[in-house]
DNA sequence: TTAGAACAGTTGGAAAGTCAAATAATCTGC
DNA sequence: GCAGATTATTTGACTTTCCAACTGTTCTAA
C-alpha cells in the first residue's frame, strides 16, 4: 500500500469522545490509494476518464458522445446492419441503443429503414446529412486520438492496444 | 451502473471475435469495424466492458459496484476524507458522489460525520459494519483481478498498468 | 404444420455519470 | 473588519448504461 499520509494524529478530536481513533486529518495531505493502486480496474477507469475529458474538449462544438461516434462509424461501414449487431460490436446492451439511435434519428444522421428480410429488425443507414457529418467529424476524432497519443511512444500505443485487446477478448 | 444482484444468465454483449451469435442470421457475416479498429478509446471501452462483466460475475452476491468499492477502499485508507477529495481521487464528479454515498450510508457502511475543522464538509468514515464488509469484500475483488490477470502474463499486466497510468495522468 | 424456442426491438426502473446553479462556510486582500 | 473570491455540498435536468419483462416475428423440431 502506498505512501502513508504522515499527518495522522495531529488533529484527532480533542472532544470527550474520540473512539474513531483511526481518523486522519485529511485536508491537505497526500491521498493513500490503499487497495486501489494495484487494481487494473482502477487504472482502466482513470485512463478512460482522461480519454473522455480530452474527447469532450476537442469535440466540444460537436454535441456528440464517443458511443454515438461508434454507432455512426459502424453504420457507415456496415450499411443496413441491425441494432442488436451494433450493440454486440460496441459492447452496448441493445436496450441502451434504442435511445441512442432515437437521438441520432432525431438529428437526421441515421435512419431506421425496414429490413427487407426480417420484419423484426431495422436496417440502419446513414442519411446524407449523416454521411457529411461523419466525414467532417472523423478528422476531429483523429485529432483527439493524436493528442492522447502524445502521452505514449508509437510502440507504447501499439502495445497498449494489443494488451487491451487481450483483456477485452471474450 | 447497476450491479444489482441479478442471478439470471446475463445477456452479454459479445465481442467482435465471438462468432456464436450467427446461427440463423448469417446474411451479414463479419462486421467491418471501419474507423474504430485503430481507436484507443474503442479498445479501452471493450476492455472495461470485459472487466465489468467479470466483476459482476464474481461479486454477484455482493450488491456492489466497482465505484462503490473505490469509495470504501479510499475511505478506509484515508479516514475522515471529504467528498471532494474522494471524487478527485477516483475521477468522479462531486455531484455524482452525493448519491453514491447516500446509498452506502443507507446500508450503514459509511457515515458522514461533521468535520472538526470545516463546517462545509463531511468527514467520511467507515462504520464498524463497513469495516467488516470491506474486509470480506476485498478478497473477492482480488479474485476478480486474478481471473482477469489470467489473460495476461505477469509482465504484461505490469506493462498495461504502467501504460494506463501514463494515459490517465493529468 | 404447428407449438415452442429463439430472437429483434422496446419500455420501465435504477445506478452512475455529466454540467450548471444554488447555498453555506471559509479564506484572502485591502 | 469585511467584501469578494473560493470551496464543499447539494439539487435538478439530462445522458448513458444495465437488467427484467413484454410484444411481435422467425425458426425449428416433433
For residue A32, the distance in angstroms to the closest alpha carbon of chain B comes to: 6
User: In whole angstroms, what is the distance from residue A108 CA to residue A129 CA?
Assistant: 7
Q: Which pLDDT does position A86 carry in this prediction?
A: 97
Q: Residue A55, Cα to own-chain centre: how many angstroms?
A: 9
User: Which own/partner contact pairs does B135-139 have at CB distance under 8 Å and 24+ positions apart?
Assistant: B137/B59, B137/B62, B137/B64, B137/B69, B137/B72, B138/A35, B138/B73
Name the minimum distance, in Å, from the CA of A90 to any CA of chain B: 7
pTM for the full model? 0.85
Task: Say whether pLDDT at A90 is over 80.
Answer: yes
pLDDT in tens, A38-73: 999 999 999 999 999 999 999 999 999 999 999 999
**CB-CB neighbours of A31 under 10 Å:** 19
pLDDT tens column, B35-89: 999 999 999 999 999 999 999 999 999 999 999 999 999 999 999 999 999 999 9
Strand partners, A124: A112
* Å separating the CA of residue B109 from the C1' of nucleotide C14: 20
Nearest to A127 by CA among A141, A145, A107: A107
C-alpha cell at position A115: 429490413
Mutate to test the interface with B, among A19, A29, A40 (most CBs of B within 10 A): A40
Q: How far is Cα B109 from Cα B132, in angstroms, rounded to an integer?
A: 9
CB contact under 8 A, A49 and B78: no
- Residue A33: its chain B contacts at CB < 8 A? 73-74, 77, 89
**Looking up cell 490509494, which residue turns up?**
A33
pLDDT digits (tens, 9 = 90+) for B137-160: 999 999 999 999 999 999 999 999
Give the H/E segment covering residue A125: strand A122-126
Phi, psi dihedrals of residue B122, rounded to the nearest 5°:
-105, 135
Among A44, A76, A136, pick the best mutation site for testing chain B contact (most B Cβ within 10 A): A44
Q: Residue B1's pLDDT band (boundaries 50, 70, 90)?
A: very low
Torsion of CA A124, A125, A127, A133, to 10 degrees: 100
Amino acid at each position: 500500500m502506498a505512501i502513508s499520509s504522515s499527518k495522522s494524529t495531529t488533529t484527532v478530536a480533542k472532544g470527550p469522545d474520540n473512539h474513531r481513533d483511526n481518523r486522519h486529518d485529511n485536508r491537505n495531505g497526500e491521498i493513500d490509494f490503499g487497495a486501489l493502486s494495484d487494481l487494473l480496474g482502477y487504472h482502466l477507469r482513470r485512463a478512460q476518464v482522461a480519454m473522455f475529458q480530452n474527447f469532450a474538449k476537442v469535440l466540444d462544438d460537436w454535441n456528440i458522445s464517443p458511443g454515438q461516434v461508434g454507432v455512426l462509424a459502424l453504420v457507415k461501414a456496415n450499411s443496413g446492419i441491425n441494432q442488436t449487431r451494433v450493440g454486440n460490436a460496441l459492447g452496448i446492451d441493445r436496450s441502451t441503443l434504442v435511445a441512442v439511435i432515437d437521438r441520432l434519428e432525431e438529428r437526421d444522421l441515421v435512419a431506421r429503414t425496414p429490413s427487407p428480410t426480417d420484419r423484426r429488425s431495422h436496417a440502419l443507414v446513414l442519411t446524407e446529412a449523416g454521411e457529411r457529418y461523419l466525414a467532417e467529424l472523423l478528422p476531429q476524432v483523429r485529432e483527439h486520438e493524436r493528442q492522447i497519443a502524445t502521452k505514449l511512444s508509437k510502440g507504447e500505443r501499439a502495445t497498449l492496444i494489443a494488451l487491451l485487446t487481450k483483456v477485452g477478448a471474450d
